[in-house]
Amino acid sequence: MEQKKHWQSFGELTNSEGYQESAKDEFKEDLPVWEDDKGLFSAATPRRDFLKYLGFSTAAAMVAASCEVPVRKIIPFANKPEDIIPGVANYYATTYIQDGEAVSVLAKVRDGRPIKLEGNELSPITQGGTSARVQSSVLDLYDTARLRFPTIDGKETTFENIDAEISKAINGLGNAPIVILTTSIASPSSKDVINQFIAKHPGSRQVTYDAISYSGMLLANEATYGKRAIPSYKFDNAKVIVSLGADFLGTWLSPIEFAKQYAKNRKINEKAPTLSKHYQFESIASLTGSNADERYLHRPSETGAVAVALLNAINGQAINLSDAALKEGVKKAAADLVANKGNALVVSGSNDVNVQIIVNAINEALQSGGKTIDWSSTYNTYQGIDTDFARLVEDMNAGNVGALLIVGANPAYTWFDSARFVAGMKKLKFAVSFNPKNDETTQLCKYVIPNHHFLESWGDAEPKTGYYSLMQPTIYPLFKTRQWQDSLLKWSGASTDYLGYLKTFWTAKAGGETGWDKAIQDGVLNPATVPTPIGAAFNSGAVNGALAAIAAYKKGGKVEVVLYQKVSMGAGQTASNPWLQEMPDPVTRATWDNYIMISPAMAKTLLGIDLNIAREADNYEVTPAKPVVKVTANGKSYSLPVLIIPGVHPDTVGIALGYGRTKEIGKAADGVGQNVFPLASMSGATLSFVATDATVEKTGATYPVALMQTHNVYTTPQGTRTEVMKELTLKEFKKDPEEIRNDRQKELAPFGGLKNFEKEGTIYPYYDKPGIHWGMNIDLNACTGCGACVIACHAENNVPVVGKPEVLRFHDMHWLRIDRYYSGNPDNPKVVFQPMMCQQCDNAPCENVCPVGATNHSSEGLNQMAYNRCIGTRYCANNCPYKVRRFNWADYTGADSFPDNQRGIVNDVVLMMNDGLTRMVLNPDVTVRSRGVMEKCSFCVQRLQEGKLKAKKESRPLISGEDNKWDVKTACQQACPTDAIVFGNVNDSHSAITITRKENELRLFKSLEQLHVLPNVTYLAKVRNVDEVAEKAEG
Amino acid sequence: MHLKYESQLREPLVNGRKTYHDVTEEIIRPIEAKPGKLWYVGFYIAVALLLFGVYSVYRDVTYGIGQWNLNKTVGWGWDITNFVWWVGIGHAGTLISAILLLFRQGWRTGVNRAAEAMTIFAVMCAGQFPIFHMGRVWLAFFIMPYPNTRGPVWVNFNSPLLWDVFAISTYFTVSVLFWYSGLIPDMATVRDRAKTKLRKLLYGIAAFGWTGSTKHWQRIESLSLVLAGLATPLVLSVHTIVSTDFATSVIPGWHTTIFPPYFVAGAVFSGFAMTQSLLLVVRKVYHLEDYITIGHIEAMNKIIVLTGSIVGVAYLTELFMGWYSQSKYEGYTFWYSRANLFSPYGWSYWGMMTCNVLTPQIFWLRKARRNLFITFFISVLVNVGMWFERFVIIVTSIYRDYLPSSWSVYYSPTIWEIGFYLGTFGLFFTCFFLFSKYAPVIAVHEIKYVLKTTGESYKNEMGALEREPVEEFAHEYAH
């Protein structure tokens, strides 16, 4: 039967064009859209809107009343890529690059996304160690502020177009030279690329500019050794280390490498206890100074005088220093150095050529060359000479430069006289920036071709001569970016792209295709044999000149300013990284700001705050609003909040560099702190980050600083809380190795003593712990407090960032923190860093108070959280003696089932962490916790599961550290540059944890052991290499 | 019980020459009349507060507990302080009804109804806090042990928070039963006097078909005795269990064995103070001075000074133990975080000491006990002091516990935290206003019980009788 056609209009009958057009729209007329500016009932059809609202609110109420959450399906691959197994991570060796710094890393890639970096253990330089900045750099890949396409005058364009434009511009330059302004380039192939470009464009040149420069060292070495290079340092060969203001564990030269070396002699063999001796002479409290055995304070203007005094003391001459304590310190350090000739090392963080010449003379006198200083391999990570750049700025202003191609450098922000640089930029014909962000310098450039992130790049690096590290992309470029080497190659008329170039370069070097493949797989290419350290011929000609120059140095003014780098922020390259912004500074424990670091003595005179009085200390500590002080130096003033930090010289203040960035860099950087680079100055041939004549004045204003730890000492009027943390001196330890154990025995005596404590300290029955039982040990002697573990934990466990307003309310979410305690004289105290995370107590106080059993104990000794079960009573956090539990006070992660409850509640930085791009960094193995749920360290249970499965698949027991083989490593352990953290199965007699605990039983302690919570984290007491004389002097 | 003999030395419990009819009239009249202007003003203020509280809670539920100023160290602040405070207030009613009933204290009749109502409303208010302090309140049903398909997953019977759930819900249930069973005869009286059909119907339902038969009276008597027996241990257990919320922890300042008796005493203390504050207003507004006499007030003041001194001893014991234990952690909590006036929360400790221990001592003076103004003033102070006590216990213990690195400060509460607290006041007074409007605030039938033994007129006549020489009495009766 034929289907009858019904029609409503002629159009429909004839199926006219007009009808077809109108049939496309579901509604024939415009919908009565409710306009924003009108109220509900003034809308055209309030009834409909009313019904709409009624329907919506009913539906919303139903959703809120917890109906089923919509099912989101995971669709499997139709064609599975060969090397992607869902749920299994791939690791690719690559290289972290930040300016000159290069660290070999493995990128963990899940389903095509790099989500975590781990140190590459094949690298002899870092030996698997990382730093906080390395750990955090994976987040930079997903930074929303990255430039996403090439631009001309801020307008998007194509690569073809911009290439054509730039070629035209280059051709139009005539004789005006092109300058390639780079940060230090440690990549041999990139250097070739630059040279090729220069060869193609005669008259052009490369200028290397390092924001934090080492030109003082380079020039001093040129003057004394004839080599403009920085030798390798061997802290592991040094029994006595004297650092003149060099923060070698935090920011100086190659901190990961040095921390690794340093820790070797800081770990104690209990049978024959020895310890290297570390003296630090500095002006402000640094991370390295906090780790020193003995620390002496001097004014920044006395840096040269101290170096000279040390040289004189070593040479047995009289020393001339006015400060008695300092003089004593120099004498002592000199005596120790001389006694350990050949096993001693002196380093200086000064950028002053003369000081570095003196330091070279000292090292020469100590015969360090070939022992603790190795000239067989030199650093390529810092090559910039300050005067080169200063000359460039002058050339630019004189109109002698045609174009600037900028690779990584950002002088408009980091150069102290940025106004002059900016003026120079205006005189150029054009400028090209390859910087990945629209930073201060890029904003001045006509052409912008953003560079790849290093995780998207091909490349290589030679951080030290002979040691190569290769880069390979771990993800397809997220945006329309291009490696700068590609651009240069193109503009030099080369026929290959950079990958082809690189491959040719390395195939030749690494020995053919297989060599290249292996190098890329390993990520590193090392010298066949470890070169023996060699010295270099010393030319003492420059020493007298340096002595004379230092003697003529002006005395400092009333107050002096030191501009320092934070472990997290450096020179500000990482300012947009929320993880780093929220990482508490190891020394000040502050986040999200820079501030003026002052001594307790200055606090008393300037602000009238006496920290020795509990009431005044409380008043200062408990409120986050800190007094604002105005610092004036070099004609510039800054009003910044102060933090009173014990261990700062009374006449010196410290301010961190790297702050005061704008929103173009990223939301996290916007408005955080102030830029103090302008306080730097050229002093002779080098840049000086010290202002020796400054004034400070109280302003009366206050400014909140987000501190994570307000209280600094574990001494209370009721006694010293020795159960929290234990420390002793090497002499004490040698005299009575049982001291710590006796201490514990005494604490536990009422509960059965050390031996029977576990069974007798409780009324509950004792349970065996068969099978795997996880445990961790942290050597407080090896821990330098650098914070790499804190950021590794962020990355591994999806720990949310909460932003400054929330940190101010103590809502920080860190699963792992590094507590800092002071002891002794507050003017120059001893510092202890104690990493603190969930102690995974076997008799956990949090577990029995949870009404719903959301936190409970696993058969492997883990105190585990069932997030789904948690209703958020917070009793567990209250009852945790270590205060390591963290509650989701607001919807920090966007994981909540309530929609639209973040805006206005959490700040922009947190929202940024929730956007689609940034969320790509999340580890899919770890639940993203929603609002109202308690969370805490899980001992990286997802990694433990992975390790167990690996062992199971191979039908063997799990190995944790036996013969240095590891099935499991926690993220913090993996990141630690000093191997302070050991983790594993305590029931396995061959595991590293068992052996470590056994070998260090004399120093072993558990924090708050007397509570009988039975923590599974043990610590090794901190041993300081100070003699009793120093102790007495401390009082 | 009305058969008992009461000494002439005791003051009458009902003043004025009241007849049964007078009692009915005077107490039930306010229910039948239109409420006064003051009632409306009060009621609307209460409702407004309640609505503000509802909005505050809405914010807390929608945006998270971050709406409050709690932090990583101080996980409980105003929320649990208010919870314990309200639970404490909820103690007087049942104590008056149950324990005083068992002790045959006649004076309870004047105050028990209002005090019981207060208890119920206070427990209702208290209950809001543990519920809405949860991070995920929509999953609150997880704390109920019920068979489920999740394994099944059971609750953790070791947790004092779970004991709380049982203790408070049991207490609430028994209190409501006790209160309501006492209301039944009075509801019947109101029903019998009702002039409109609606009133008749509603009060008829509320009266559960009470006819006043002897059988009914006998049953209600036994029921109250049974419920009193049940409620008595509850009075002690509820706050004992609330105290274990703290006492079973490891936190110095919480981990204290004297908590159960100390909490119970404190609860009775605050409960009576709240009863005092309310009744002083009620008796004035509803002109019930004859039923809630100075004698009642004095009796309650005696309990206040007793329990206030007990908590005072407890405070001093804590301080002593802080020193005697030689534990640096406890010592710090008690001697620095609390007793040191200049420590960040020293003010709360001394506020507590002043309001709870020092000022109530004035009640050793009979004059003060019988002075309405002083009584009202002190009763308010006691409630302030008891709020401080809970705040001191909760916040000053956890804001500086074991690791100095984690010490923090619980800043001043946010508006939403305060709003939640005000909201419970709104809830409390809304309920109380409705109760005083729709139910007799004094137990009519219980007053009638005692009227003939302790009513002023009867007492006087009985006194006259007692003073009569035996011969005369015999003579009179011979006729």
Smallest Cβ–Cβ distance between A716 and the set B154, B165, B328 belongs to B328
Whole-angstrom Cα distance, residue A545 to residue A543? Answer: 5
Q: What is the pLDDT of residues A971-1006, one digit of tens each?
A: 999 999 999 999 999 999 999 999 999 999 999 999
Mean pLDDT over the full length of chain A: 88
Confidence category of residue B2, pLDDT binned at 50, 70, 90: very low
CA distances from A537 to A219, A378, A867, B459 (A): 16, 15, 64, 119
Which residue in chain B has the smallest CA separation from A714?
A: B404
Three state DSSP letters for B62-117: HHCHHHCCCCCCCCCCHHHHHHHHHHHHCCHHHHHHHHHHHCCCCCHHHHHHHHHH
Q: What is the pLDDT of residues A908-926, one digit of tens each?
A: 888 888 888 899 999 999 9
Q: What is the pLDDT of residues B12-57, one digit of tens each?
A: 777 777 788 888 888 888 888 888 888 899 999 999 999 999 999 9
Confidence category of residue B4, pLDDT binned at 50, 70, 90: low
CA distances from B226 to A270, B90, B94, B118 (A): 72, 20, 13, 21
With CB atoms and an 8 Å threshold, state whether A853 touches B156: yes
Task: List, as one string, the DSSP characters of A431-495.
Answer: EEE--SB--TTGGG-SEE-PPPPGGG--EEEEEETTEEEEE--SS--SSS---HHHHHHHHTT-S
Do the bridges between strand A205-208 and strand A430-433 make them parallel or antiparallel, or are there none, so unpaired? unpaired
Whole-angstrom Cα distance, residue A535 to residue A235? Answer: 15
Whole-angstrom Cα distance, residue B276 to residue B265? Answer: 16
Distance to chain A for B411, nearest Cα, Å: 8
Note the pLDDT of residue A283: 93
Note the pLDDT of residue A32: 53
With CB atoms and an 8 Å threshold, state whether B75 touches A905: no
With CB atoms and an 8 Å threshold, state whether B335 touches A933: no
With CB atoms and an 8 Å threshold, state whether A845 touches B250: yes
Contacts of B340 in chain A (CB under 8 A): 614
Which residue in chain B has the smallest CA separation from A834?
A: B405
Smallest Cβ–Cβ distance between A883 and the set B135, B245, B403 belongs to B403
Q: What is the pLDDT of residues A90-118, one digit of tens each?
A: 999 999 998 878 999 999 998 889 999 99
CA distances from A19 to A4, A177, A244, A380, B396 (A): 20, 67, 86, 73, 77
Of A675, A609, A610, A590, which is closest to residue A636 (Cα–Cα)? A675
Tokens read off for A476: 């397809």
Whole-angstrom Cα distance, residue A875 to residue A850? Answer: 7
Three state DSSP letters for A91-134: EEEEEEEECCEEEEEEEEEECCEEEEEEECCCCCCCCCCCCHHH
Q: How far apart are the first and last CA of chain B?
A: 30
Smallest Cβ–Cβ distance between B405 and the set A711, A849, A871 belongs to A711
Distance to chain A for B334, nearest Cα, Å: 10
Confidence category of residue A1029, pLDDT binned at 50, 70, 90: very low
Tokens read off for A780: 């407080």
Q: What is the pLDDT of residues A461-506, one digit of tens each?
A: 999 988 999 999 999 999 999 999 999 998 888 888 899 988 888 8
Give A430's strand partners: A403
Note the pLDDT of residue B471: 81
Note the pLDDT of residue A11: 72
Tokens read off for A3: 């289907």
Which residue in chain B has the smallest CA separation from A935?
A: B72
With CB atoms and an 8 Å threshold, state whether A806 touches B66: yes
In the 8-state DSSP scheme, what is residue A876?
H
Say how far residue A231 (Cα) sits from the centre of its chain. Answer: 25
Residue A1032: pLDDT over 50? no
Whole-angstrom Cα distance, residue A209 to residue A213? Answer: 8
All domains of chain A in start order, with CATH:
10-64 (no CATH), 68-208+382-464+467-526 (3.40.50.740), 215-379 (3.40.228.10), 560-707 (2.40.40.20), 726-779+939-1035 (3.30.70)
With CB atoms and an 8 Å threshold, state whether B402 touches A820: no
Work out the percent of chain A whose per-residue pLDDT is above 70. Answer: 95
Contacts of B332 in chain A (CB under 8 A): 716-718
Tokens read off for A250: 């935090």
With CB atoms and an 8 Å threshold, state whether B407 touches A710: yes
Q: Which of A684-698, A897-911, B72-86, B287-301 has the weakest average pLDDT?
A: A897-911
Contacts of A853 in chain B (CB under 8 A): 153-156, 159
With CB atoms and an 8 Å threshold, state whether A871 touches B65: no
With CB atoms and an 8 Å threshold, state whether B401 touches A834: no
Smallest Cβ–Cβ distance between A871 and the set B134, B344, B402 belongs to B134
Q: What is the pLDDT of residues A139-193, one digit of tens each?
A: 999 999 999 999 999 899 999 999 999 999 988 888 888 999 999 999 999 999 9
Contacts of A717 in chain B (CB under 8 A): 332, 335-336
Interface confidence, given as ipTM, is 0.90
Whole-angstrom Cα distance, residue A147 to residue A480? Answer: 9
Whole-angstrom Cα distance, residue A99 to residue A463? Answer: 11
Task: Count contacts between A and B (CB, < 8 Å).
Answer: 208
CB atoms within 10 A of CB A54: 10
Q: What is the pLDDT of residues A239-269, one digit of tens each?
A: 999 999 999 999 999 999 999 999 999 999 8
Distance to chain B for A788, nearest Cα, Å: 19
Q: What is the pLDDT of residues B78-125, one digit of tens each?
A: 999 999 999 998 887 788 778 777 777 777 777 888 888 989 999 999
Rg (CA), chain B: 24
**Do A466 and A377 form a contact (C-beta atoms < 8 A)?**
yes
Do the bridges between strand A690-704 and strand A559-564 make them parallel or antiparallel, or are there none, so unpaired? antiparallel
Contacts of B250 in chain A (CB under 8 A): 845, 879, 881, 1011, 1013
Whole-angstrom Cα distance, residue A837 to residue A843? Answer: 16
Smallest Cβ–Cβ distance between A849 and the set B160, B328, B340 belongs to B160
Q: What pTM does this model have?
A: 0.88
Give mean pLDDT, residues B366-394.
Answer: 93
With CB atoms and an 8 Å threshold, state whether B408 touches A874: no
Whole-angstrom Cα distance, residue B65 to residue B80? Answer: 13
Residue A530: pLDDT over 50? yes
Tokens read off for A855: 């936190």
With CB atoms and an 8 Å threshold, state whether A819 touches B403: yes
Contacts of A886 in chain B (CB under 8 A): 72
Q: What is the pLDDT of residues A417-466, one digit of tens each?
A: 999 999 999 998 999 999 999 999 999 999 999 999 999 999 999 999 88
Q: What is the pLDDT of residues B258-292, one digit of tens each?
A: 999 999 999 989 989 998 998 898 888 888 888 88
Confidence category of residue A1030, pLDDT binned at 50, 70, 90: very low
Distance to chain A for B155, nearest Cα, Å: 4
| Residue B465 or residue B244, greater confidence | B244
Note the pLDDT of residue B247: 92
Q: How many helices (H) and strands (E) does chain A have?
A: 34, 43
